[in-house]
């Protein structure tokens, strides 16, 4: 791929997982609201390709977008408790600006970081906690309509709808990745729901690499690893993108330790309460 890739929200957790995995593979334009420290910038990305801007600033976004072939759009307020004012400005208005400018500038591929919160409402009292366990066959596959569990989820569902619009109106390839629970080195500890939707850093980088390489029209896929227990299907990501995840939360104990390094494979009784911080 000869044309640069614009990565918004480059300094965040997902952005850093991507850059740490495939940072040497592409010619990057990095955009963030704050200047990126050197430790967060891949080798070979010059100062001129590091943009400090708000994604609601159309002129700044257009400057960063010129000549770009693909976009990975991560920027926004990631808090599941974000107030509507922030959700509207950062996640809806900002996403609309980035998508519209990308379409107008002739970008070929656009990968949008959606979230599991766009469908959090499917996790009803009747379905949980069995939903998070291997013997339950309920699956969300991306064809279901959004069912947000909070205002953050509303913003991500809106981003998906915007992606549909700009694909239909401009024929820009758009993939919306409903990201699960991204953690480094091990699945979320003592958190059953998080282990069912775990996305490792390696699989995250690989998934977005496939978003930049595959041929597709408009797609909604789930971004999780190859976990034995899961209620999100990754078959569409496999089929359309060529996604081949290598990690599995079942390879770790409930406490998050690699099974090969433990004396017993026995797990403690799962707990399903929310962890102190959210996943995406």
Catalytic residue among 26, 51, 132, 152: 152
Residue 155 is labelled as binding a ligand? no
Is residue 94 within 8 Å of 112, Cβ to Cβ?
Answer: no
**SS3 assignment, position 22:** helix
Instruction: List the pLDDT tens digit at each of the 280 positions of the chain.
Output: 679 999 999 999 999 999 999 999 999 999 999 999 999 999 999 999 999 999 999 999 999 999 999 999 999 999 999 999 999 999 999 999 999 999 999 999 999 999 999 999 999 999 999 999 999 999 999 999 999 999 999 999 999 999 999 999 999 999 999 999 999 999 999 999 999 999 999 999 999 999 999 999 999 999 999 999 999 999 999 999 999 999 999 999 999 999 975 444 444 445 444 443 444 4
C-alpha dihedral (29, 30, 36, 37), degrees to nearest 10? -50
156 is in an annotated binding site: yes
Q: Sign (positive/negative) of CA torsion 86, 88, 92, 96?
A: negative
Is residue 29 a contact partner of residue 68, using CB atoms and an 8 Å limit?
yes
Contact 267, 189 (CB under 8 A): no
Torsion of CA 50, 56, 62, 64, to 10 degrees: 10
Question: Residue 152 annotated as binding?
Answer: yes
26 is annotated as contributing to ligand binding = no
Cα-to-chain-centroid distance, residue 231: 17
**CA 205, CA 14: separation in Å to the nearest integer?**
9
Burial class (CB in 10 A: 0-12, 13-18, 19+), 107: buried
Q: What is the DSSP letter of 270?
A: P
Distances (CA, A) of 234 to 37, 88, 91, 164, 197: 34, 29, 25, 20, 11
How much is the pLDDT for 278?
47
Alpha helices per DSSP H over the chain: 13-22, 58-65, 84-86, 94-104, 151-170, 192-196, 201-213, 235-236
Confidence at residue 170, expressed as pLDDT on a 0 to 100 scale: 97
Q: Which CATH number fits domain 5-261: 3.40.640.10, 3.40.50.720, 3.40.50.2000, 3.30.1130.10?
A: 3.40.50.720
Rounded to the nearest angstrom, the gap between the alpha carbon of residue 179 and the centroid of all alpha carbons in its chain is 4
Q: How far apart are CA 98 and CA 7, in angstroms?
A: 11
**Annotation says 152 is catalytic:** yes
């Amino acid at each position: 791929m000869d044309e640069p890739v614009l990565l918004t929200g480059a300094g965040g957790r997902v952005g850093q997982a991507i850059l740490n995995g495939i940072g040497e593979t592409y010619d990057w334009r990095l955009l963030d609201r704050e200047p990126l420290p050197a430790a967060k910038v891949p080798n070979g990305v010059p100062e001129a390709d590091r943009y400090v801007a708000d994604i609601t600033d159309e002129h700044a976004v257009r400057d960063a977008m010129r000549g770009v072939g693909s976009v990975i759009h991560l920027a926004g307020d990631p808090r599941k408790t974000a107030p509507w004012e922030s959700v509207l400005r950062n996640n809806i208005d900002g996403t609309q600006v980035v998508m519209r400018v990308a379409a107008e500038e002739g970008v070929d591929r656009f990968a949008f970081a959606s979230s599991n919160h766009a469908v959090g409402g499917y996790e009803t009292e009747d379905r949980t906690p069995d939903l998070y366990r291997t013997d339950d066959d309920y699956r969300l596959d991306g064809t279901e309509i959004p069912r947000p569990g909070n205002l953050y989820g509303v913003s991500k569902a809106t981003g998906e709808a915007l992606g549909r619009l700009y694909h239909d109106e401009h024929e820009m390839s758009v993939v919306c990745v409903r990201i699960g629970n991204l953690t480094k080195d091990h699945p979320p500890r003592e958190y059953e729901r998080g282990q069912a939707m775990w996305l490792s850093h390696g699989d995250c980088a690989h998934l977005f690499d496939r978003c930049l390489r595959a041929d597709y029209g408009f797609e909604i896929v789930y971004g999780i690893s190859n976990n034995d227990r899961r209620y999100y299907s990754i078959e569409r990501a496999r089929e359309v993108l060529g996604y081949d995840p290598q990690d599995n939360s079942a390879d770790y104990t409930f406490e998050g330790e690699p099974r090969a390094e433990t004396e017993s494979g026995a797990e403690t009784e799962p707990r399903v309460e929310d962890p102190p911080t959210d996943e995406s």
